[in-house]
A and B are shown apart, each in its own frame.
Chain A
């Protein structure tokens, strides 16, 4: 989503949910796209679909250990994760989190931690939003229907690199679906209607 960061909050305590929302609303570029209480039976599926950039998680509201929960998401989505932690919680609850917001933190401390880790103070203009020529090549292949493997073979890249490029393309353009990318490619004459045939 361009330079915005999508956020989900997983916290059972509604006061904390609302409080965190209010604190986040004072920071630039953060958009909350989901609130959960942690007991949703299909939570990992929903999170995978939403693919947030940042996740705030209170491990106490999960019915499995946080490490197991995070393992289920590994490889599918890769958000920046903050633990929402009670100061008195045992170390075993805190340990899965490199980034921690403690209940005793004041507003300033919380905002500083988030701002530091999320680079919210960066000037958005120093990060070019236009596609590189490599990205344009990959975009063309994607809209023509090639798989990641086929693109990797063609360009002598690893599948992983192709996927990274695709993520960057989606981010820069703010477009997630292949059909959306087709519209972009057509409007910018990167491909022609004939190239796409009946795909669109």
Chain B
């Protein structure tokens, strides 16, 4: 289903509830009444095209209009990705960590083995935090400054220096695949877990991990397929201006 601006926000969410965390990032919450998407955007001061495109891309993995997505200003993406980071770090990952802890406490068997899984996840969280930190401290500020410099047609020595020190190709090369360990974790739980006595809790963990994986896939897809190419194009523009 293609989501368009005249659809009621509530109908969209009833059709695909996995969109709830996405709309939350834009400041839209449940209890949304009968407003349609364009009214919601007006109310929350959102970029209508950007909002619907992001919803569609998350809703349907085949829908990914690269040209259209790349035409949006980079600052919209940076803002969206940053909010997603907060959601991953402050909500989703602690939630799963808490579930794992609770599950182990309620296990009367194999506690030692399960504790290893917990350790793996904590390790993953730390790595993920480092990954995000690099994006927020190094990449995003550079992207924002670059966009501003081009828009105002003011090529400062600072932006030239940033470009030489950390061009986007560098980020591209070191941008790790954060889904890899999630993939492993799924396999460990489904295939290799010593048989638990509390299936329901493990199932809950598994479901949360699948949701996290889907959200991470979508997140990386925007970083790899939209943000990086977009910044490359901006860098080319910068190079032209610097040559003059």
User: What CA separation (Å) do A67 and B93 show in the bound complex?
Assistant: 43
Interface string of B145-180 (1 = CB under 8 A from A): 000000000000000000000000000110001001
Between A17, A176, A188, the greatest number of chain B beta carbons within 10 A of the residue's beta carbon is seen for A176
Interface string of B174-194 (1 = CB under 8 A from A): 000100110111011001101
Between B61, B177, B194, the greatest number of chain A beta carbons within 10 A of the residue's beta carbon is seen for B177
Docked-complex contact B232 and A176, CB < 8 angstroms: no
Q: Which residues of A contact B180 (CB under 8 A)?
A: 176-177
Among the stretches B24-32, B46-54, B94-102, B222-230, the one at the interface with A is: B222-230
- In the complex, the chain B residue whose C-beta lies closest to that of A40 is B225
User: What CA separation (Å) do A22 and B50 show in the bound complex?
Assistant: 29
Pick the contact of A173 from B173, B192, B225 — CB < 8 Å? B192
Pick the contact of B120 from A1, A35, A188, A200 — CB < 8 Å? A200
A 99-158 contacts with B by CB, 8 A: none
Interface string of B3-14 (1 = CB under 8 A from A): 000000000000
Docked-complex contact A187 and B116, CB < 8 angstroms: yes
Interface string of B53-81 (1 = CB under 8 A from A): 00000000110101000000000000000
Q: How large is the interface on A (under 10, 10 to 19, 20 to 34, 35 or more residues)?
A: 20 to 34
Q: Does A21 contact B (CB under 8 A)?
A: yes
Q: Does A174 contact B (CB under 8 A)?
A: yes
How far apart are B221's CB and chain A's nearest CB, in angstroms? 9
Pick the contact of B192 from A40, A45, A49, A184 — CB < 8 Å? A184
Docked-complex contact B192 and A187, CB < 8 angstroms: yes
Docked-complex contact A35 and B123, CB < 8 angstroms: no
- In the complex, the chain A residue whose C-beta lies closest to that of B233 is A41
User: What CA separation (Å) do A35 and B66 show in the bound complex?
Assistant: 12
Q: Which residues of A contact B62 (CB under 8 A)?
A: 14, 17-18, 21, 35
- In the complex, the chain A residue whose C-beta lies closest to that of B224 is A46
User: What CA separation (Å) do A188 and B192 show in the bound complex?
Assistant: 9
Q: Does A186 contact B (CB under 8 A)?
A: yes
Q: Which residues of B contact A188 (CB under 8 A)?
A: 192
Docked-complex contact A175 and B120, CB < 8 angstroms: no
User: What CA separation (Å) do A44 and B64 show in the bound complex?
Assistant: 19
Docked-complex contact A45 and B187, CB < 8 angstroms: no
Docked-complex contact B224 and A179, CB < 8 angstroms: no
How far apart are B244's CB and chain A's nearest CB, in angstroms? 24
Q: Does A70 contact B (CB under 8 A)?
A: no
How far apart are B104's CB and chain A's nearest CB, in angstroms? 14
Q: Does B18 contact A (CB under 8 A)?
A: no
Pick the contact of A180 from B61, B120, B173, B225 — CB < 8 Å? B120
Given known A-B contacts A18-B62, A42-B172, A46-B224, A180 and B188 have beta carbons under 8 A apart: yes
Q: Which residues of B contact A184 (CB under 8 A)?
A: 188, 192
Q: Does B119 contact A (CB under 8 A)?
A: yes
User: What CA separation (Å) do A175 and B182 show in the bound complex?
Assistant: 10
Contact surface of A with B, Cβ cutoff 8 Å: 1-2, 14, 17-18, 21, 35, 37, 39-42, 45-46, 49-50, 173-177, 179-180, 182-184, 186-188, 200
* Ranked 9 nearest A-B pairs via Cβ: A180-B184, A174-B187, A187-B113, A175-B184, A49-B177, A186-B116, A183-B120, A41-B229, A183-B116
- The 6 sampled A-B contact pairs (Cβ below 8 Å) are A21-B62, A41-B228, A173-B187, A173-B191, A176-B180, A188-B192
Besides the known contacts A18-B62, A40-B225, A42-B228, 7 further A-B residue pairs in the complex with CB atoms under 8 A apart: A40-B224, A41-B228, A41-B232, A45-B172, A174-B184, A183-B117, A187-B188
